[in-house]
Amino acid sequence: MSDHRDWYQGRNVMVTGGMGFIGSNLAEALVKLGANVTIVDSLIPIYGGNEFNISAFQDQVRVSITDIRDRFGLAHLLKGQECVFNLAGQVSHLDSMTDPQTDLDINCSAQLGLMEALRAAHPDTRVVYASTRQVYGRPQYLPVDERHPVHPTDVNGINKHAGEQYHLLYSQVYEIPTVVLRLTNTYGPRQLMHNSKQGFIPVFIRTAMEDRTITLFGGGGQIREANYVTDVVDAFLRAGARADDLSGRTFNLGARPSFSLLHFTELLLEIVGKGSMADAEWPAEKAKIDIGDFESDYSRIVAELGWTPSVGLEEGLAQTVAFYSDHGDEYW
């Protein structure tokens, strides 16, 4: 049986959000596999698109500065594409509560527009959609499998679930080969660092590297898990190569062992060699949408796609800190 990576040789592949964190790492992997890569990104500053993310391979890809909300521009770019990795999105949970309309436009309406464009002219194109474990909301049991009830705690989770459902509906009704991946905390090189819109990990890393104090709410006892970006890229590649025969499927990503935020912070401070931590009360706006402890059951993707995370937390954090030590000026 051929390796899943062989499928991409010579294929036309699009990455939406391709100058962002995960998208740029995925685009680089696709270039190395011999794919003809089109990167689509709005380069809206607050959302993580960064030209430096693709500087090492920019001359090997086609780049279009297009907002995913521009359905006419997107429809043109879809011509000839054999696989679309759909990573464009608004990911900030707090922003979704203060500006719900923008979150709706990007994470819901734009996703429907993409699927409509594919239905109208490109129904054979494979699609892998980047969703989030946030759709589950506060867990009713741990670990959370794909059968767990969906009950988001914020507008972002609601709209990401709607985006999922549009993808899955068009898979079912129009036979567009589509796979949904529900990501947990992802970290690594090229992540947005100058604001808090991509979760706690980049905030904690920058704070430690600047020798400042990391604030842990409620003692840092919350349980989390995290995937290093290369492992997440591998999951996308596996899903894209198998989208024809696994169309309509949803898969959790995850990692073991899980960790408390206190343990994560202690490990990070040890790796960085500076910084400190302090306890604080939960801010009201954060407490209302926090999901509590979370662990994924990712046995389905292990069984059906052969995916397992390979980079442990200590190794991944060391590689991440080393990257920002060298390139922090491009991200701070």
One digit per residue, pLDDT tens: the chain, 332 residues? 469 999 999 999 999 999 999 999 999 999 999 999 999 999 998 888 999 999 999 999 999 999 999 999 999 999 999 999 999 999 888 899 999 999 999 999 999 999 999 999 999 999 999 999 999 999 999 999 999 999 999 999 999 999 999 999 999 999 999 999 999 999 999 999 988 778 899 999 999 999 999 999 989 999 999 999 999 999 999 999 999 999 999 999 999 999 999 999 999 999 999 999 999 988 877 777 778 899 999 999 999 999 999 999 999 999 999 999 999 999 99
Cβ atoms of 42 and 73 within 8 Å: the answer is no
pLDDT value at position 199?
86
pLDDT value at position 2?
65
Count other C-beta atoms under 10 Å from residue 255's C-beta.
Answer: 24
Query: What distance in Å separates the CA atoms of residue 84 and residue 129, rounded to the nearest whole number?
Result: 8
Is residue 109 one of the residues assigned to a domain?
Answer: yes
> Domain of 244: which CATH number?
3.40.50.720
Query: What distance in Å separates the CA atoms of residue 325 and residue 85, rounded to the nearest whole number?
Result: 30
Is residue 85 one of the residues assigned to a domain?
Answer: yes
pLDDT value at position 45?
82
Is residue 331 one of the residues assigned to a domain?
Answer: no
pLDDT value at position 154?
93
Is residue 291 one of the residues assigned to a domain?
Answer: no
Residue 224 burial (C-beta neighbours within 10 Å; 0-12, 13-18, 19+): buried
Task: Single out the residue of 59, 36, 12, 53 nearest to residue 323, CA to CA.
Answer: 53
Residues 6+ apart with CB under 8 A from 61: 18, 27, 31, 37, 38, 39, 54
Is residue 212 one of the residues assigned to a domain?
Answer: no
Is residue 285 one of the residues assigned to a domain?
Answer: no
Residues 6+ apart with CB under 8 A from 94: 196, 285, 286, 289
Please identify which residue in the block is written with the tokens 């062989």: 6
- The domain total for the chain is 1
Task: Single out the residue of 118, 49, 115, 120 nearest to residue 81, CA to CA.
Answer: 118
Is residue 131 one of the residues assigned to a domain?
Answer: yes
Cβ atoms of 82 and 125 within 8 Å: the answer is yes
**Main-chain phi, psi angles of 161, to 5 degrees:** -65, -40
**Main-chain phi, psi angles of 33, to 5 degrees:** -85, 0
What is the residue range of 119's domain?
Answer: 9-191+228-254
Is residue 144 one of the residues assigned to a domain?
Answer: yes
Q: Is 39 left (phi over 0), alpha (psi -120 to 50) or beta?
A: beta
